[in-house]
Amino acid sequence: MDCMKSIRAFRNVLLCVKLNFILFNCLLSFLPACKTVPVKREIKAVQEISSISPTQKFVKTHMKDGKVYILHHWVYDSARYVMAGYGSLLDINRNVMETRGGEKRTKDEPFTIPLTEVALLETNDPGPSIAGGLGIVTGITAGFTIFCIANPKACFGSCPTFYADNGDTLALQAEGFSTSISPSLEKNDIDMLYSARYKKDFALVVTNEALETHSIRFAHILAFEKQGTERVFVSADGSFYKCNNVYQPTSCKSDSGDCMNKIQSVDGDEYYSMADADNLNSKEEIIVSFNTEQAQELGLVIGKRQTLLTTFLMYQGLAYMGNSAAYWLAEMERGKIARRETVFDLLGGIEVFAKDENGNWQPEGKLHETGPIATDFNIVPLASKHLGRVDLKLRLNKGLWRIDYLGLATISGKVSPTVIQPYAVETIKGMESNPLGKLTREQEYLVTYPGDSYKIKYQLPYNNAELFLDSRGYYLEWIRTEWMNEQNFRKLHLMVNKPSLYLKRAARPYKKIEPTMEKTFWNSRYVQK
Using CB under 8 A as the criterion, which residues of the chain lie in contact with other proteins when the complex forms? 16, 19-20, 23-24, 26-27, 30-31, 34-39, 41, 43, 57-58, 60, 62-66, 68, 70, 90, 92-94, 119-120, 122, 124, 126-127, 129-131, 133-135
| 375/373 Cα distance (integer angstroms) | 7
For other proteins, the closer CB: 99 or 235: 99
> How far apart are CB 88 and other proteins at their closest, in Å?
9
Three-class SS state of 331? helix
> How far apart are CB 63 and other proteins at their closest, in Å?
8
> How far apart are CB 27 and other proteins at their closest, in Å?
4
> How far apart are CB 25 and other proteins at their closest, in Å?
9
Three-class SS state of 404? strand
| 404/269 Cα distance (integer angstroms) | 6
- In eight-state DSSP terms, residue 330 is H
Taking a C-beta distance cutoff of 8 angstroms, is the pair 507, 278 a contact?
yes
Taking a C-beta distance cutoff of 8 angstroms, is the pair 515, 277 a contact?
no
For other proteins, the closer CB: 3 or 34: 34
For other proteins, the closer CB: 34 or 338: 34
The helix (run of H) or strand (run of E) holding residue 243 is strand 240-247
For other proteins, the closer CB: 35 or 340: 35
> How far apart are CB 126 and other proteins at their closest, in Å?
5
| 382/296 Cα distance (integer angstroms) | 10
For other proteins, the closer CB: 36 or 116: 36
For other proteins, the closer CB: 128 or 359: 128
For other proteins, the closer CB: 20 or 323: 20
| 346/419 Cα distance (integer angstroms) | 35
Counted residue by residue, the chain has a size of 529
> How far apart are CB 121 and other proteins at their closest, in Å?
10
> How far apart are CB 58 and other proteins at their closest, in Å?
4
Q: Where are the beta strands (DSSP E) in 368-484?
A: 376-381, 386-397, 401-415, 418-420, 424-429, 446-448, 453-459, 465-477
In terms of Cα–Cα distance, which of 385, 377, 403 is closest to 394?
403
